């Protein structure tokens, strides 16, 4: 039964929260091999803004999503959803991550640099004591803009080593499972750019290596975030920078890493970069198609590692069955734009 279980791809819409910017909403699902996307929002809040999707590493039918009303869970491939009980002040969830060695442990990242931890699969949650103060901006009450935890990642070799990518903040790190945090943003300033970070990945190929992506490009550290250097991706905008939005390691292949990028938050250029040597060198991928908006997110099917997907902020979705060598468009329904998150299982 398990071997024949169907795979699904999930795409979450959310949009931005800045004044004057429209916010799309919804969660779409499609079965592998199908051509029809369907809404999977039964039990979610009205007009759900989905900015995070996490697939359970042991149970493919269980999915977690982050919404404007906290995290939700489905145990039937998204047919039905239940709200998780988190004392989260009603703030939106921007990131979700599992402990790489214990699927019962789950982290949720919020605005205002708040992080919650569950040790029982999402039944009970505790707010972690994040007290980081940033060089140029602060997470204190009344700060502007809010410090959103856009991505969380734990070291597979040491799950107590956790990193968070903070929008307009930097990278934070904990070495004790989230009880103490520190700012690790040295070297991520480029020209006059703020430390606007969008993602973080702990590399498996080389011990101590961490990657961080943001508005100013891709950065790499070889000493667990103590120091950073630019990875020097091909620049995509007039500032000589590359707007990066997602970074993923190919399942079962620690040397292959993918980055979703574009010219800016809203641009007419969507690009994938790939490294085949653990992040030492990077190449812009010829997809055989021309994405018309910024590439925003990536997803892999962990059970079939050659199956992968990517999506642009404008709602373009592409799928590959051969590890990214060739791609086929899987367009969302008309009007489904502002993609923020993807998942596959």
Query: Is a pLDDT exceeding 90 seen at residue 194?
Result: no
Q: How far apart are CA 303 and CA 288, in angstroms?
A: 25
Q: pLDDT value at position 192?
A: 53
pLDDT digits (tens, 9 = 90+) for 329-344: 999 999 999 999 999 9
CA–CA distance, 32 with 307 (Å, rounded to integer): 9
Which pLDDT score is estimated for 15? 79
Whole-angstrom distance, CA of residue 43 vs CA of residue 62: 15
Grouping H, G, I as helix, E, B as strand and the rest as coil, residue 55 is: strand
The whole-number pLDDT of residue 191 equals 56
Q: Of 64, 90, 116, which one is at a domain's C-terminal end?
A: 90
Mean model confidence pLDDT for the chain = 91
Token digits for 330? 């899987």
pLDDT, one tens digit per residue, over 174-191 is: 999 999 999 998 767 655
Question: In this predicted structure, what is the pLDDT of residue 138?
Answer: 43
Residues 242 and 322 grouped into a single domain: yes
Domain boundary among 47, 64, 90: 90
Whether residue 134 is predicted with pLDDT greater than 70 in this model: the reply is no
Do 194 and 308 belong to one domain? Answer: yes
**Domain limits for position 77:** 1-90
327 neighbors 319 (Cβ within 8 angstroms): yes
Do 225 and 185 share a structural domain?
yes
How high is the pLDDT of residue 137?
44
Give residue 156's pLDDT band: very low, low, confident or very high (50, 70, 90): very high
Evaluate the CA torsion angle 184, 93, 279, 283 in order and state its sign: negative
Q: What is the CATH number of the domain that holds 241?
A: 2.130.10.10
Query: In which band, very low, low, confident or very high, does the pLDDT at 145 lie, cut at 50, 70 and 90?
Result: low
113 and 230 belong to one structural domain: yes
Domain shared by 155 and 74, yes or no: no
Q: Whole-model pTM? A: 0.94
Task: Work out the percent of the chain whose per-residue pLDDT is above 90.
Answer: 81
| pLDDT confidence band for 143 (50 / 70 / 90) | very low
pLDDT score at 79 = 97
Name the more confident of 262 and 113.
262
Query: pLDDT tens digit string along 10-20?
Result: 999 997 766 77
| Residue range 22-59, pLDDT digits in tens | 778 999 999 988 889 999 999 999 999 999 999 999 99
Residues 114 and 223 in one domain: yes
pLDDT band, very low/low/confident/very high, at 1 (cuts 50, 70, 90): very low
Residues in the chain: 345
Task: Mean pLDDT check: name the lowest of 228-237, 280-289, 315-324.
Answer: 228-237
pLDDT at 140 over 50: no
Quote the number of domains for the chain.
2
Given a contact cutoff of 8 angstroms between Cβ atoms, the answer to whether 298 and 309 are in contact is: yes
Same domain, 58 and 178: no
Judgement on whether residues 194 and 330 belong to the same structural domain of the protein:
yes
Q: Indicate whether 116 and 78 sit together in one domain.
A: no
Do 56 and 154 fall into the same domain? no
Domain closes at, from 28, 60, 90:
90
Cis before 145? omega within 30:
yes
On whether both 296 and 195 belong to a single domain, the answer is yes
Edge-to-edge strand ranges of the sheet holding 115-118? 93-98, 106-110, 115-118, 126-127
Out of 24-38, 144-158, 251-265, pick the least confident.
Answer: 144-158
Beta bridge partners of 172: 164, 183
pLDDT at residue 69, as a whole number: 96
Are 11 and 48 within 8 A, CB to CB?
no
13-27, 164-178, 251-265, range with the lowest pLDDT: 13-27
**pLDDT at residue 154 is higher than 90:** yes
Do residues 170 and 116 both lie within one domain?
A: yes
Stretch 312-320: mean pLDDT: 96
pLDDT at 4: 57
């Amino acid at each position: 039964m398990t071997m024949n279980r169907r795979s699904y791809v999930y795409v979450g819409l959310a949009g931005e929260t800045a004044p004057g910017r429209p916010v799309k909403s919804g969660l779409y699902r499609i079965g592998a091999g199908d051509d029809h996307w369907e809404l999977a929002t039964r039990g979610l809040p009205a007009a759900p803004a989905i900015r995070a999707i996490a697939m359970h590493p042991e149970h493919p039918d269980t999915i977690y999503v982050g919404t404007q009303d906290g995290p939700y869970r489905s145990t039937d491939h998204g047919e039905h959803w239940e709200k998780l009980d988190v004392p989260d002040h009603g703030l939106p969830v921007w990131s979700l991550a599992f402990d790489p060695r214990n699927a019962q442990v789950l982290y949720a990242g919020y605005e205002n640099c708040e992080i919650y931890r569950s040790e029982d699969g999402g039944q009970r949650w505790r707010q972690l004591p994040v007290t980081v103060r940033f060089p140029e901006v602060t997470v204190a009450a009344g700060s502007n803009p809010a410090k959103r935890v856009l991505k969380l990642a734990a070291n597979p070799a040491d799950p107590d080593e956790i990193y968070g990518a903070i929008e307009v903040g930097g990278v934070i790190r904990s070495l004790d499972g989230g009880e103490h945090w520190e700012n690790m943003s040295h070297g991520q300033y480029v020209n006059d750019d703020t430390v606007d970070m969008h993602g973080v990945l702990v590399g498996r190929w080389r011990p101590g290596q961490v990657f961080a992506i943001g508005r100013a490009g891709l950065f790499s550290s070889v000493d667990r975030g103590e120091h950073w250097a630019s990875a020097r991706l091909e620049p995509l905008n007039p500032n000589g920078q590359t707007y990066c939005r997602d970074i993923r390691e190919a399942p079962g292949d620690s040397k292959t890493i993918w980055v979703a990028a574009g010219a800016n938050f809203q641009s007419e250029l969507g690009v994938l970069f790939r490294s085949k040597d653990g992040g030492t060198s990077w190449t812009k991928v010829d997809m055989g198609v021309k994405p018309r908006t910024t590439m925003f997110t990536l997803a892999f099917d962990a059970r079939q590692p050659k199956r992968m997907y990517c999506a642009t902020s404008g709602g373009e979705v592409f799928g590959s069955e051969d590890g990214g060598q060739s791609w086929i468009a899987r367009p969302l329904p008309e009007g489904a734009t502002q993609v923020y998150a993807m998942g596959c299982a």
